[in-house]
Structure 1
Amino acid sequence: MTYVLLFAAGLLGGMINSLAGGGSFVIFPALLFAGVPPVLANASNTYACLPGYVTGTIGYWKHIAPHKGRLALYSILGLAGGFLGAEALMRISDEAFAIIIPWLMAFAVAIYIFGQRINRFFAARSTGSRHAVRAGAIGLSVLLLAISFYGGFFNAGLGIVLLAWLALAGFDDVHAMNGLKLLISAVVSVVAVLRFAATGSIAWVEGSVALAGAMVGGFAAAYFSHLVPAKMIRGFVIVYGVGLTVYFFWGVYG
């Protein structure tokens, strides 16, 4: 029954990721409820989400290709930040991580809710100040390193934070932004998963069941996407994410 529930969570998470983003809000708690310790559950969630990032990157490659000149820098920063974030996760106890889960969830849900406004805010300022953006290249690189660290440490909400960063960096093509978001997420997740695997910090059976469900759900959602309004999915994710955050806060501080 546990595996059935994990597959169902992966299925729903994969569908949500395909339609609106936020699938980690389903998969990560499901791994916790299945009895996987907090640190392993977080690492296993990153593992379960990885194939979706890779296939999405391939699907968006024609939109990514015009920006090949930036990929080396983005990949290096993603690898470095993702590794450092994963390393930090490996050095924290389950007890300590359980205490900060509610705060990480609250941050990720807030980013999910206000992500579009944040993107518009940065886009409005970047388009009018391209020279300032170029002059702040070092600052942008440091910020991407920090975001990648967050992704290696806690995967939920990474894509939305990356979209805000891309808007700040001066991108305005939504397809290119989605493609680059997926590519950086894939790079961050690959190095994090390798780091987790090296120390046996992935619950392979539970994570693989969720991964299989996520792949099926992602493909199914892409095929039937015209039948389900993205706003409805987004509304569900927000309500679910807020409720889940309250639940985690109650569990720790109640």
Structure 2
Amino acid sequence: MTPFEIVAILLAGVAAGGINAVVGSGTLITFPTLLAFGVPPVTANVSNTIGLVPGTLSGVLGYRAELAGQRSRVVRLSSASLIGAAVGAGLLLWLPSEAFDAIVPALVGLGVLLVIIGPRVQRWVAARAEDRGGLPDHGAAWLWPAILLLGVYGGYFGAAQGVLLVAVLGIGVVDTLQRHNATKNALSLVVNTVAAVVFIAVADVDWAVAGLIAVGSVIGGQLGATVGRRLPATVLRGVIVAVGLTALVTLLWP
């Protein structure tokens, strides 16, 4: 790699780590950057996933205060993320990329819509649940299979995974947006770690690329957590929607 490519990939890792901590969708920065420098698509996806694991951990640590009191919820939902990520990573290695091309933009668009209408839907869900004795601490009954499906998506590609997770958590769990964001970071860490383990075992990894993204994403994760934790819920929701719409345009652009 040239010095320019090294710096560009490192900075892309910083940006991705910061965006992942606040919203998710950092892959939409690093993945196109790697493709632009001639890294084959599957190798780029694999190396990017491995490189973003340390940055995702950095974001989790940055949001550790918001994770307080969520242990049982996170552990339960993490089991869904783990299973889904293993399936998704396998699909990346065994299926043609065209298999998900149609569904991914639809999922991202749905995620953005759910984030926008999330508070109203959450109030409706909570009111109905209250009539039946209230939602359990770990969320609605449909939440675990929904997180499982998002784990499959995250293990396969993962662009805008965070937007989708926040949307689903916002409807299925009665809690604050900042705490949902912390949960999202923890579940994303599970997905990325599982996928990374699978890729290390059986896929072709560009370790120079993965290392640069790892260093950058750790820095970005801390920066993103510092900024994200200070954002009011309305502003944070606006950031999530903006990033989600950007992801949608990027995915649909020919």
* Shorter-chain TM band: 0.7 to 0.9
Deviations 1:140-180 (A, max 9, x none): 32222111111111111111211122123232222321121
Tell me by how many angstroms 1:118 deviates: 4.5
Tell me by how many angstroms 1:29 deviates: 1.1
CA distance in 2, matches of 1:238, 1:144: 18
Tell me by how many angstroms 1:224 deviates: 6.9
Deviations 1:46-100 (A, max 9, x none): 22322232122223333323122233321221111111111111112xxx31x45
- Residues 118 and 164 in structure 1, CA contact (< 8 A), matched pair in contact too: no
Determine the structure 2 residue equivalent to 1:119: 118
Determine the structure 2 residue equivalent to 1:110: 109
Over aligned residue pairs, what C-alpha RMSD do you find? Answer: 3.2
- Residues 84 and 152 in structure 2, CA contact (< 8 A), matched pair in contact too: yes
Q: Which deviates the most, 213-222 or 6-15?
A: 213-222
- Residues 21 and 60 in structure 2, CA contact (< 8 A), matched pair in contact too: no
Determine the structure 1 residue equivalent to 2:191: 188
Tell me by how many angstroms 1:203 deviates: 2.2
- Residues 88 and 153 in structure 1, CA contact (< 8 A), matched pair in contact too: yes
Residue identity in the other structure for 1:67: Q
Percent identity between matched residues is 27
- Residues 53 and 189 in structure 2, CA contact (< 8 A), matched pair in contact too: yes
**How many aligned residue pairs are there?**
241
Deviations 1:103-123 (A, max 9, x none): 466346535643521533541
Structure 1 residues 196 and 172, CA gap change in structure 2 (3 angstroms): same
Query: Comparing both structures, which one devotes a greater share of its residues to helix?
Result: 1
TM-score, normalized by length of structure 1? Answer: 0.78
- Residues 53 and 193 in structure 2, CA contact (< 8 A), matched pair in contact too: yes
Matches within 5 A, 1:233-244: 237=243, 241=247, 244=250
Structure 1 residues 119 and 49, CA gap change in structure 2 (3 angstroms): farther
Determine the structure 1 residue equivalent to 2:145: 142
Q: Which deviates the most, 183-192 or 48-57?
A: 48-57
- Residues 123 and 172 in structure 1, CA contact (< 8 A), matched pair in contact too: no
Q: Which deviates the most, 74-83 or 211-220?
A: 211-220
**Matched position secondary structure for 2:91:** helix
Determine the structure 2 residue equivalent to 1:72: 75
TM-score, normalized by length of structure 2? Answer: 0.78
Structure 1 residues 180 and 139, CA gap change in structure 2 (3 angstroms): same
Tell me by how many angstroms 1:129 deviates: 2.0
Q: Which deviates the most, 141-150 or 53-62?
A: 53-62
